[in-house]
Structure 1
Amino acid sequence: MNQATKEFIEKNANKDVKSLALKKTSSKDIDLALAIRQIEGMQKVKNKIPTFFHCPTLFYPPKLSLEQSSSEITAKYKSTHCKGTKIVDLTGGFGIDCFFLSGNFNESVYIEKQKELCDLAEHNFKQLGSKNIKIINTAAEDFLLTEFTSDWIYLDPARRKESGAKAVLLSDCEPNVAELQEKLLEKAENVMIKLSPMFDLSQLQRELKNIREIHIIAVENECKEILVILKRNYNESIQIKNVHFPKNKSQEVFEFTEDEEKKCVSNFANDVKKYLYEPNAAILKSGAFKIIGEKHSFYKLHINSHLYNSDELKRNFQGRIFEVKETLIFNKENIRKLKIEKANISVRNFPLSVDELRKKLKIKEGGDKYIFATTLQNDKKVLLICTKVNL
């Protein structure tokens, strides 16, 4: 990269890249395409991968590779769950996961079939100070045919079909982990697979054998990743680990096994109690609908509502907590009486969507009031008027 391009990037680091692409540059020496890719990449990683952002000599890949890459939060989480002598990352990509995982191993191998990404990774790892990562430009399937063994193998299968639609089956992904699983566990005792939260957990268990753990990772109450850990010859109960990274709060963790969930029996509320509990997105994705209630001694509002109740405040709950100020039967009379101008609305097991209900109630979005529209165990439709409990 020449000096003119570097100066252009520094000067326009916070500018809109679409506008920059339409402007004529003041110098013919400026590589505008490279500059825009760098600026766009820096803007993407500023909050997503701060360690990379603070290294100004990195080069960035095309937009798609960045969109599919892990965040620093999720990459660091993965690094806490595997360590050993050697790890092989079969889907290197931008190298975020490989970089953070490599800190727990003596030797790391980055496999990537795209030559451009290999060149970027080799440059970037040097800039970041990594000295134990070997770069190999080949396809995952081809590398698995070579002679090697490893403590761990890591994969992030491509989650987009040729049409651009997101895949929800392992057989639609590349590499096809379902097809390769026996070969993977022949090469390594442990395999970690990163998947989109769009995957159905039951379907994954039908497609994969030897699952030891399933991790569901949420950031700011949005599911970001599913991690599946395979272990050679493992055939015991699957441990499901939900981890949530709320904004400006310590992480929330909830663990259970499928056997524990199956054995649980929910207690249902006869009436709405003082505190309302909404599990975080990871727990809801995992299907821990009965065991979350049992662990906290909650009453459930309805079998399909997935909202929980107690008269005593449970401060260690993994999710949001609200104090119920009023319970209203959902009917025309109560809608007319409702004197709320602004509120945050959620619907659970309710016949109307948020937008439909907001229009019906004539309430603006925002404020410090929360309305949960839901169904009770007696099948009555209600509005729960709440305030948030800030711990």
Structure 2
Amino acid sequence: MSNITSAGVAQFFSPMGQELWAKARAEEYDAASFMLAFRNAYPLELLRVVANQLDISTGVRRKFPSLAPRGVVLDRSLFEQASCEAVARFRATYMQGDTLCDITGGAGIDTFFLASSFSTTHYVEIDPVRHALFCENSRRWGASSSSLETFCADSLSYLKDSRQTYDWIFVDPARRSGDGTRHAEMSAWRPDIVAQQQLLCSSARKVGVKIAPAYDITRLRKEISTMESLRVISVGGEVKEIFAQMSAQGDSIRCTLHAVCLTKEGTPFFEISREGHGDRMLPSSSEATYLYDPDAALIKAGLVHETGALFSMSCVAPHGVLLLKNSYEEDFPGRVLRIQHIFSWSKKRTQTYLRTHGVVGATIIRRDFPLSVQEIRRRFHLFGESANTFLYFTTRGCGERIVIHAEREL
């Protein structure tokens, strides 16, 4: 937890605190200058809460656009772990039922949006300051007090003591320890999902677990044996989370894998799935008119070739992610570029091509290529970026290293 205290939260929501918060925003203070300007005029606990809100205010407006005008008070660690509004809204379209328990309440963004899909919603949070923040935030957001109940309690003890069977349990494990250290191992997260599978699945018909986007999916399927499905969710081309759905009848070997691409507003514009294991292979090709670079969700989920088959495409390499086609597919989920030239990689050949074609700036992308982007820029003096010119450094299935020069169609 940050240095925000219960006393500071209470002072922040008092008339004095709200007046100070309005003044800080109106005069456009940043956190450091605010603390310096008011350090002797107000209680330190209050100053810390206001400074914290100034620190995250820009991110709050971007991450929670509909809630920000109503007021979102969080500490930084809560803000960083909270789901973005787009994903939270989308999740509420498939997590539905009569009863829900969010056993890792935290910021409560998920709780708030999921509550609209359930008759009764329980929010459980062990930290009293975070619990108090959610109670105040949810009131400002307009949550229904008749259908939403909050509990300041240890989540696992709460489940054991309540003896209630929910339609859904939602879990967003804490991936940082008390000193702020981020843990990559799932066994170090709290609660420990792997160790608590039996308790979770016996307490609900379905359990939804939010997983960090960088987590390895193959490893995840081995660790969680009760998994029914996995959703890799991207917003605006960036993977935001992996969502694991568990149940007592789940089988990770046969679980369905989904890739979901959302707009920044949370509207799904592409979704594809595959049941069980087994990769689909596309035919390789050496030439085409258009290069297709798939959305990050498709790459993370390993569903690039399934997507390519849907659009009748070929691939640059059998196990690669770059796709090719002679015609333009407007609805393709990812970047679509017109190919200018494909040539075999060598330092001399690349230097000659760039000089001859006047390429002095480009977006550099490497896929299965030994040189880093920084090294490529250094070797060829490509220090300028370009939103329209792209150079892909990659490797064909035969092992031939190539460069693809492509342009965005204006």
TM-score scaled by length of structure 1: 0.92
1:154 maps to 170
How much has 1:136 moved relative to structure 2?
0.7
CA distance in 1, matches of 2:43, 2:181: 39
How much has 1:237 moved relative to structure 2?
2.8
CA distance in 1, matches of 2:228, 2:209: 12
Tell whether 2:314 aligns with 1:299.
yes
Higher alpha-carbon deviation: 323-332 or 100-109: 323-332
Counterpart AA for 2:19: E
Q: Name the SS of the counterpart of 1:371 in structure 2.
A: strand
Whether contact under 8 Å (2:30, 2:51) holds in the other structure is: no
CA deviation profile, 1:237-276 (whole Å, cap 9, x unmatched): 32222122345896432322244x616232111x221111
Whether contact under 8 Å (2:85, 2:266) holds in the other structure is: no
How much has 1:232 moved relative to structure 2?
3.0
Aligned residues: 386
Whether contact under 8 Å (1:239, 1:255) holds in the other structure is: no
Q: 1:243-262, aligned counterparts within 5 Å?
A: 243-246=260-263, 251-259=268-276, 262=278
Whether contact under 8 Å (1:304, 1:349) holds in the other structure is: no
CA distance in 1, matches of 2:375, 2:197: 46
1:386 maps to 406
Q: Name the SS of the counterpart of 1:145 in structure 2.
A: helix
How much has 1:74 moved relative to structure 2?
1.1
2:22 maps to 10
How much has 1:379 moved relative to structure 2?
2.4
- Of Structure 1 and Structure 2, the greater strand share is in 1
CA deviation profile, 1:121-164 (whole Å, cap 9, x unmatched): 12222222212111111111101211211111000011124564
1:134 maps to 149
CA distance in 2, matches of 1:77, 1:321: 26
CA distance in 1, matches of 2:81, 2:52: 16
Higher alpha-carbon deviation: 297-306 or 131-140: 297-306
CA distance in 1, matches of 2:158, 2:40: 47
CA deviation profile, 1:315-353 (whole Å, cap 9, x unmatched): 222111111011232220341341211111111111111
Call closer, same or farther: CA 1:303–1:163 in 2, change over 3 Å: farther
Q: Name the SS of the counterpart of 2:29 in structure 1.
A: coil
1:193 maps to 209
CA distance in 2, matches of 1:173, 1:20: 35
How much has 1:15 moved relative to structure 2?
2.8
Whether contact under 8 Å (1:254, 1:283) holds in the other structure is: no
Name stretches of at least 5 consecutive residues in structure 2 with no aligned partner.
1-12
Q: Name the SS of the counterpart of 1:326 in structure 2.
A: strand
1:322 maps to 337
CA deviation profile, 1:268-295 (whole Å, cap 9, x unmatched): 11x2211111111111111124322322
How much has 1:372 moved relative to structure 2?
0.9
**Of residues 392, 401, 409 in structure 2, which corresponds to 1:372?**
392
Call closer, same or farther: CA 1:246–1:382 in 2, change over 3 Å: farther
**Of residues 343, 353, 361 in structure 1, which corresponds to 2:362?**
343
Once superposed, what is the RMSD of the aligned Cα atoms?
Answer: 2.3
Q: Percent identity?
A: 24
Q: 1:1-391, aligned counterparts within 5 Å?
A: 1-13=13-25, 14-24=28-38, 27-28=41-42, 31-56=46-71, 58=72, 60-131=73-144, 132-146=147-161, 147-161=163-177, 164-235=180-251, 237-246=254-263, 251-259=268-276, 262=278, 264-269=280-285, 271-331=286-346, 332-338=348-354, 339-363=358-382, 364-389=384-409
Whether contact under 8 Å (1:241, 1:253) holds in the other structure is: no
How much has 1:373 moved relative to structure 2?
1.1
Counterpart AA for 1:253: F
Counterpart AA for 1:168: A
How much has 1:2 moved relative to structure 2?
4.3
How much has 1:220 moved relative to structure 2?
2.4
CA distance in 2, matches of 1:347, 1:263: 22
CA distance in 2, matches of 1:262, 1:291: 11
